[in-house]
Amino acid sequence: MAGALKQRFNDDLLLEEEDQKRAKERFSSPLFAVLYFEELCTFFKKYEKRAKEAKQRRGYVGAFAILAGMLALGGAAAAPVYHHLGAPWPAILVVFSVFLGITSVVIGLFGVGSTKHKQFWLLNRLMTERLRQFHLQTLVRRIPSVLEAMESNEGRTRYIHARKEWLASFKARYKNHLQSRLRGVLDDIAEDDVWLHDAELSHVRFDEADAWSAPVSIGAHLTELFRAYAELRFDHQIQYADFKLDRSGVFFASAVRQNDLLRGLTLGCILIVLA
* Three-class DSSP category at 212: strand
- Centre a 10 Å sphere on the Cβ of residue 116 and count the other Cβ atoms it contains: 7
Give CA–CA dist 127/119, Å, rounded.
12
- Centre a 10 Å sphere on the Cβ of residue 54 and count the other Cβ atoms it contains: 19
Give CA–CA dist 265/260, Å, rounded.
9
Residues of the chain with pLDDT > 90, as a percent, come to 37
Structure-model confidence comparison of residues 159 and 90, the more confident one: 159
What pLDDT, on the 0 to 100 scale, is given for residue 121?
Answer: 92
Structure-model confidence comparison of residues 25 and 206, the more confident one: 25
What pLDDT, on the 0 to 100 scale, is given for residue 36?
Answer: 96
Mean pLDDT value across residues 149-171: 95
* Least confident residue range of 44-48, 114-118, 186-190: 114-118
Vertex 127, ends 113 and 23: CA angle to 5°? 125
Going from the C-alpha of 169 to that of each of 163, 174, 180, the distances in angstroms are: 10, 9, 17
DSSP assignment letter at 6: P
What pLDDT, on the 0 to 100 scale, is given for residue 74?
Answer: 77
Q: Does the pTM of the predicted model rise above 0.85?
A: no
Which residues have a Cβ under 8 Å from the Cβ of 130 and sit 6 or more positions away? 170, 174, 181, 196
